[in-house]
Chains A and B, each alone.
Chain A
Amino acid sequence: MYNLLLGYKKTTSKLSEINLLLVVLIFALGLLGVAMIYAATGGDWLSGAKQHFYRMIFATFFMLFIAIIDLRLWYTISYPFYIMILILLISVDLMGVTVNGSKRWIDLQIVNYQLARIQPSEIMKLAIVLALSRFYHDLPRWRVSSIYGLFGAFLIIFIPMFFIMRQPDLGTTLLVAATGLSIIFLAGIKWRLLAGFLIFSFISIPLFFIFGLKTYQRERILTFLDPTHDPNGASYHITQSKIALGSGGFNGKGFMSGTQRQLDYVPENRTDFIFTVIGEEFGFIGSLSTIAIYMVIIGICVWLSFQCKQVYSKLLILGFTITFALYIFINLAMIMGLVPVVGVPLPLMSYGGTVLLTVMTGFGLILSAYINRDSKLPSSKFKN
């Protein structure tokens, strides 16, 4: 009997197909994150390390739970889920909670009892991948570069982007844009259209810089361009995080011995700047190993996508992988002083519940797409 939730396969046989190396590496990075948060808080188990540990365990189970759910369920709910999250995102704009000058959160409450404070823009990263995958799965290849195909993809990406930018959240906006663009590219957009779009972007980015950004966002980018300027101001973050990394040298200063970290020179080192703790305490070897683990995880995911035959599965896996990779790229480039400080966490390691849950749900969906690669999704409605 067809079970919408679990499909035809038995749960045990599904679990046996789960790529164990991927799960182990993900969990290992999570545990490294726990250790680094522990170090970053000066050896305080209760200031984040404990929470991250329990969240990691819960998120791993949640990931496995998502993984065994039949792919057809995800296919079916792709659009409704996207629309639901879009509504939440719009309601953030209308009645969101402002923290640190940004309106990113929404309180879910019944009468006056607060259930949770969620960040719809985070979940949107998942929803947009689901929606785009479904869009291209249903779209015949020849229409990808047609007006219909372009306009549909553009709507799916641009509407949430617009509201995320209004919050304002530059990091997530760029992340969503880059993920969306990558999926369009994967779906097979014509090269000359892509080239045209890129040229258009190069022209419009300066205009966007002048008219589309908040003053503080502009300042961040400007100080990035001149990192020696104003060492205690905005570029202080970059300077201090580079000092932390550089002073780690080849071997690092040893676990719990980072002076930059101990003396609080690197701000936010429990969250966005967690990698500086690795760099300072474990040196070049530790940093490079950590980066290597991330690369292996990404490599496994790309390999998993090759094993799938349906467009939806492939785009789903690659879409989440790209989101994951972009998180890492932006975060690492940011703390190494290669791009401006935009406030993107390092997935799996940074302290923070929503991001962890997003990433782990993404991995759950990747695994689900892989395990259920044989589930037959409805093929494209349009024939050649």
Chain B
Amino acid sequence: MSDNERHNQVSINRRAALLGSLGAGVFGVLSSRLYYLQILKAEDYRALSDDNRFNFNITIPSRGRILDRYGNELAINSQNFSLVLIPERVKDIEATLLKLKKILSLSTSNITRIKKNISKHASFVPVLIKENLDWGTFSKLNFKTPDFPGVIPQVGLGRSYPNDGLFSHTIGYVGSPSPIDLEDDKDPLLKQPSFKIGKTGIESSADKLLRGSSGKLKVEVNASGRTVREFPNSNDAPINGQDIWLTLDSELQKKAAELFGNDSGGIVVMDVLTGEIRTMLSMPTFNGNLFVSGITQKQMDELNNDERRPQYNKVLAGGYPPASTFKMVVMLAALEGGFMNPKDKITCRQKVNLGNRTFHCWKRGGHGPVNMREALKNSCDVYFYELSQKVGIENIASMGRRLGFGEKFNIGLNGLKSGIMPDPKWKKLKLGNSWKVGDTLNASIGQGFVLSTPLQMAVMVARLANGKDSLTPNLIIGQNLLKFKSLDIDSSHIAFVQKSMLAVCEEPGGTAYKKYGLDLGQLQIAGKTGTGQVRGISEKERRSKLRRDEDLPWKLRDHNVFVGYAPFKKPRFAVSCLVEHGGTGSKRAIEISRNILKTALIRDGIPEGKKIKSAVATDV
């Protein structure tokens, strides 16, 4: 071996040893790094590993039902048949969608949405193809699923409203939370897919009660987010929403809708002892289910283009002149203030001149001399023009408020209107000019500035019928303690008004007289009609005999109003009914009210008595 080779050997060995120790050093570094990770930081990493591993899924409580006073279901959670697709189990998504498109008649925009959702989520996340399938389609699909691997029919819970929309205005409907809802309400439930919250009506105002609170479910998830295992714990179960019982009677509501037919308007039936609302219906109504399942543009247009405004809650939010039904307010104000002896007569010559303005009575030729009772029975406008000038607007407005006009009642719903009970202060504030005597005259017959809702009219008549309590309406059972303030009106004055109202309905010549009255034996009905003017009547029209309300276009016809209660002797139910553009004479409103009171009394346990020949009031 040459020196060169030996030298090489030694040199290489030395340098190899050097590199070897460098390598040992690197191993030392790696080992201490392992020590750091696995011994010193083990706890931290174990926690991180559990964070990875476990997740809490939110579990959804079932929404409380909404029931009527007898427990009939008005809003329920019904089985909702839907079809979902799990992308990872579908071989050819394109072909599958094409085949489903034919069966389900999916639109192109639906297909686009489905494809977008497929690409947005992990491939094991089910994508909704279509929900709210009818049973026929659903069972047909169940039969065909072997042909569609990865397409799964599902049964879930969805909100549904039986009763064909009879309660839509009151109950409202649910919908997906809007960005504003998500901003205002931090409840994690709102972020759950397909979770719905109340949008209108009771669904919205009692949403927190109905919703309940979410539970949680510990799950083990893998890196792609798929749930591998569940660890249910009964302590973490969701708390289901409460049922809400309403004071409504769904049979009575149904009857009211039948009576209304195609007419537009609203009706309220109230218990005059408790203030409970038995029926509250705005007509025409709409089907709340449409809003839950996704309303189509065409359906939306149909609702919006209907001149009867189906979505508008006329009972709570409508502002209508109470018309002649307001005359009771003027009467009571006069009696309470002692401004007029009810027996004194005022002669009606069809018109009253005030400065350069003329105020007319509805009756051609006038009523002649009438006392207070006859004035109400025949609804003489001139009597009240004269009377109101004696009483003054301040007293009238004060009495109006005592009877519920201008008040926004708390019945557990949003969107109630207060209407207008005008007085000089109001006019100065709102219109900036001073009160004129003519304004008082208009107000005396419930026209002019006076606006009210059908609910307020019902409250007025309920308070008159009750006579003692300042009743307030209530809609949700258990929300009202039934402790009312005293009405504080002389009972003899109340009795006089009541008897006058009886005359309206039960005496021949009364504006709401009908031979057989309620058609319930001895039971009698008391009430008052009203005709709300939609438009001014010109002098020319008034002179010509040609003007007849029925000849006018629907939109220009007068509103029909009727308020009343029954039975006269022991008042039980009050009703207020408004038929929009129902024409002069209140025939429709009277008819509907009379029938609804009859049904309400029968449902309350009064036997359907045999017909009597004469229904002339005995109390008069």
Which residues of A are at the interface with B, using a C-beta cutoff of 8 A? 140-141, 182, 185-188, 240, 242-250, 259-260, 262-265, 267, 279, 283-284, 287-288, 291, 295, 298-299, 302, 305-306, 309-311, 314-315, 318, 322, 325, 329, 332-333, 336, 338, 379-380, 383-384
Contacts and interface: CB of A to CB of B under 8 A. Distances in A.
B195 interface: no
Contacts of B31: 288, 291
Interface string B47-64: 011001100000000000
Given A245-B37, A247-B42, A185 B223 contact: no
Contacts of B23: 298, 325, 329
A186 B27 contact: no
A112 to B, nearest CB: 29
Contacts of B27: 291, 295
Contacts of B30: 291, 329, 332-333, 336, 338
9 contacts: A245-B34, A246-B37, A246-B38, A250-B39, A260-B53, A262-B228, A291-B31, A309-B5, A332-B30
Contacts of A311: 5, 8-9, 12
B302 interface: no
B403 to A, nearest CB: 67
B37 A242 contact: yes
Contacts of A265: 52, 222-223
7 tightest Cβ-Cβ pairs between the two chains A and B: A246-B45, A247-B49, A263-B222, A249-B42, A284-B38, A264-B223, A247-B46
Interface string B13-56: 10111011001101101110111011101101110110011000
Contacts of A245: 34, 37-38, 45
A309 B1 contact: yes
B164 to A, nearest CB: 51
Given A188-B8, A259-B53, A318-B19, 14 more contacts: A245-B38, A246-B46, A248-B42, A249-B39, A267-B223, A279-B34, A295-B24, A298-B23, A302-B20, A311-B5, A311-B8, A311-B9, A314-B9, A336-B37
B33 A263 contact: no
Given A243-B52, A264-B223, A325-B23, A336 B11 contact: no
B7 to A, nearest CB: 7
A247 B45 contact: yes
A384 B5 CA distance: 11
A250 B48 CA distance: 16
A318 B37 contact: no
For B2, B13, B20, B44, which residue has the most chain A Cβ atoms within 10 angstroms?
B20
Interface of B: 1-5, 7-9, 11-13, 15-17, 19-20, 23-24, 26-27, 29-31, 33-35, 37-39, 41-42, 44-46, 48-49, 52-53, 220-224, 228
B226 to A, nearest CB: 9
Q: Chain A interface secondary structure, helix, strand, loop or mixed?
A: helix
B52 A182 contact: no
B34 A336 contact: yes
Contacts of A240: 52, 223
A188 B15 contact: yes
A141 B4 contact: yes
Contacts of B222: 262-265
B228 A263 contact: yes
Contacts of B15: 185-186, 188
Contacts of A309: 1, 5, 9
B48 A246 contact: yes
Contacts of B37: 242, 245-246, 279, 336
Contact of B52 (A140, A263, A288, A302): A263
Contacts of A332: 30
B19 A338 contact: no
A279 B38 CA distance: 8
Contact of A283 (B9, B24, B38): B38
A250 B223 contact: no
Contacts of B46: 246-247, 249
Given A288-B34, A291-B30, A318 B12 contact: yes
Nearest to A384: B4
For B8, B13, B33, B41, which residue has the most chain A Cβ atoms within 10 angstroms?
B8
B5 A379 contact: yes
A329 B26 contact: yes
Contacts of A325: 23
Nearest to B54: A259
B2 A379 contact: yes
Contacts of A242: 37, 45
A283 to B, nearest CB: 6
Contact of A263 (B12, B39, B220): B220
Nearest to A187: B12
A314 B49 contact: no
Nearest to A295: B27
Contacts of B2: 379, 384
A245 B46 CA distance: 9
A250 B41 CA distance: 11
A240 to B, nearest CB: 8
Contacts of A333: 30, 33
B38 A250 contact: yes
Contacts of A188: 8, 11-12, 15
A142 to B, nearest CB: 9
